[in-house]
Structure 1
């Protein structure tokens, strides 16, 4: 088994693999130890043309042991082709892949970024480009911090992908697909890309920030909202797995922004804000806050089945012309259990509520 050592202040590598597995050992500043095994093909690591080129087969580049570290690429890259996996699960510290200004990593195929280590994140700040896709697996965290342009979409199958902007997920034409993963935002983010929630569902962690989704969310999975901050849903979404607001605020920005066929649950630390939009749901259960702005002519929350009430009901009035005898309908339901522990009413100045 050959061992290659490269010592440099900045590590630049060329690894040409053909159906082989390469493992980066004991990565630390300026030094990478590499062993090649499972050599049904050939592999080299050198400090020459400075690109990673993975052609054909099923390839894995993995950090096995040692102290993590970083790879820094200094010139234009060839593509990651075929079915390629970058695996940092067994690194004992965080791992980063970055590049000089203008340097990018083209994805010409399906690239899996795997991290099952919840203590040590993987950060990819080099620009990911071309027509390929990114799939996240494992329970750990992947930070995509570059202004990425890849068009093949992003697939969250486990753990967390953290982004600072929509471009972290590639070109806006690329879809975002969940099957059990979490999208965590590190800054205010707006996106209009198509989002699919598969059977494993998907979680949006707003992390004390604001996330606005203007594209349609479809699929059979459940949407879960976590973290402080606000998730804005501004499209007529069609996913069928229901909605859970565990913490923070989910703000509906359109009539029936939540699918009318889905069950809705609001946890003790969560808020569902309907504003003055009409929202129909299959069932509702809540121990957190339900907020709405009353407007004549609509039912703010129309529950086809059972509404299990609890927590806080926060009412205010939408801008409108008030007249004597007006009525408002905040909630209707096929059946109601429980009751709100607190009802808050914000009364506009000059509005007579004495009768």
Structure 2
């Protein structure tokens, strides 16, 4: 059976058509679909060939469910499935580099191991990838890319392996917690002013990277414990943590010096691999109420954004983190390893500063001063050091609770003790 350009094969009434080969051309009558499910649950079991169409092919399910169980040969042609009804494709879409698009409000479910290598695009409704029998689902070819530009991508697979995942508009959901994506690149390019969520685990495929390219007011929330190993870059918009440990603890986080580029810890607890970026224009971090961010810095990094919110900040790792803005978060500061360079006055809020490991605090520029609420070292810690390099460097400790600092204070600067509680210095200063 051949459906010519501008014509349509319409199904209704709950029928099943057997192994009858079908060739489709074009998008049907008034773009209603060259193959069209009018009503009821109908099945077409034969193979479908769209490879000779001059301008791609549209299949529509207006209502009910259309099931396509035969293989579909796409060649270089676009296959678009739309409509308000549902479509289940259990045959293999393959043998070409043509693209596959999901449009309109219905649900399309793909259940086979498809071999087409063109772009998959979700424009509306829901696209379900459902290869439940596979440990790592390959509903879409491993080398292909997918773009969500409206609607929902739903993962019923345990894992779906892809090259690039791009979220522009819409969301990514999962049938079960633990389902995820294995992609080389995760691109978040949300439309201005929109809000999105990703519930899938973003796993690693050879040091995968995540890049957020939003604008001010745009929010993408990550709701799974992700395991990709590459860099996380926020060029614009807000990247928001929906659960604890969303950011991989090995990922280098870079926030652009751009207004509206924000990492929102959202009251969660997380550890990242390193931190850099930010500046006078933006690139800030908000901790939220009770948020706790640990930077496990193993390299040299300069961060010039503002850290704010009712949360705490910890520096660990043997690398150096240079803080270059006055931060306003209201929780405590912990230095567990490596070195923090205070590049400007009051890089820490006027709250507790605790050393829990062999680590340093260095005041590198003259005139840099710091007020803190209390100073202490954890039990047994002897390798802490504060270096007040210049005579104009002043550290003021407004000790609010009794505490002991067992490290050393060196350099040409001054220490001022204020507050009514006792500060015991037990190191060799």
Identify the range of structure 1 (185-194 vs 233-242) with the bigger mean alpha-carbon deviation.
Answer: 233-242
Deviations 1:127-155 (A, max 9, x none): 11123221101223211111111133211
- Quote the residue 2:213 is aligned against: 240
Contact in 2 for aligned 1:311/1:342 (Cα 8 Å):
no
Where does residue 324 of structure 1 map in the other structure? none
What residue number does 2:352 align with?
none
Q: For each residue in 1:248-303, what CA deviation from the matched residue of structure 2 results, as whole angstroms up to 9, or x when unmatched?
A: 33445223x23344422234x5753241333123213343524105x7xx438968
Q: Distance in 2 between matches of 1:271 and 1:156?
A: 29
Q: 2:84–2:105: 8 Å Cα contact kept in structure 1?
A: yes
Displacement of 1:156: 0.9
- Pairing 1:125–2:99 present: no
TM (norm. structure 1) is: 0.67
Residues 287 and 263 (structure 1), Cα distance of their counterparts in 2 relative to 1, 3 Å cut: closer
Contact between 2:248 and 2:271, CA under 8 Å: does it hold in 1?
Answer: yes
Q: In the superposition, relative to structure 1, how do residues 223 and 188 fare at CA in structure 2: closer, same or farther (>3 Å)? A: farther
Unaligned runs of 5+ in 1: 1-13, 33-46, 321-327
Alignment correspondent of 2:202 = 231
CA shift, 1:219, in A, is 4.8
SS of the residue 1:249 aligns to: coil
| Superposition map of 1:204-353 within 5 A | 204-207=172-175, 208=177, 209-215=179-185, 217=187, 219=189, 221=191, 224-227=196-199, 230-232=201-203, 234-241=207-214, 244-245=220-221, 247-255=223-231, 257-267=232-242, 272-281=246-255, 282-292=261-271, 298-299=274-275, 304-313=282-291, 333-334=305-306, 336-339=308-311, 353=378
Match of 2:63 in 1: 90
> Is 1:145 the counterpart of 2:118 in the alignment?
no
Q: Does 1:203 align with 2:181?
A: no
Cα distance change of structure 1 residues 301 and 211 upon mapping to structure 2, 3 Å threshold: farther
Provide the rounded CA distance (Å) in 1 between the counterparts of 2:58 and 2:185.
29
1:78 aligns with 2:49: yes
Q: Which has the higher contact order (CA 8 A, sep 6+)?
A: 1
* CA distance 1:122–1:245, change in 2 (3 Å): same
Asked if residue 167 in structure 1 is aligned to residue 138 in structure 2, the reply is yes
Counterpart secondary structure, 2:138:
helix
Instruction: Judge conservation of contact 1:54–1:84 (CA < 8 Å) in 2.
Output: yes
Aligned residues: 294
Larger Rg: 2
- CA RMSD in angstroms comes to 3.9
CA–CA distance in 2 between the matches of 1:141 and 1:270?
A: 32
Mark the runs of 5 or more structure 2 residues left unpaired by the alignment: 256-260, 313-329, 337-355, 358-376, 382-429
CA distance in 2, matches of 1:160, 1:24: 22
String of CA shifts for 1:31-79, please: whole Å, max 9, x gaps.
46xxxxxxxxxxxxxx7x721101356561222223x132222xx5533
Change (3 A) 1:342 1:158: farther
Do 2:2 and 2:22's aligned partners in 1 also have CA atoms closer than 8 Å? yes
1:250/1:216 Cα in 2 relative to 1: closer, same or farther (>3 Å)? Answer: closer
Match of 1:106 in 2: 73
TM-score by length of 2: 0.57
The answer (yes or no) to whether the contact 1:197–1:223 under 8 Å persists in 2 is no
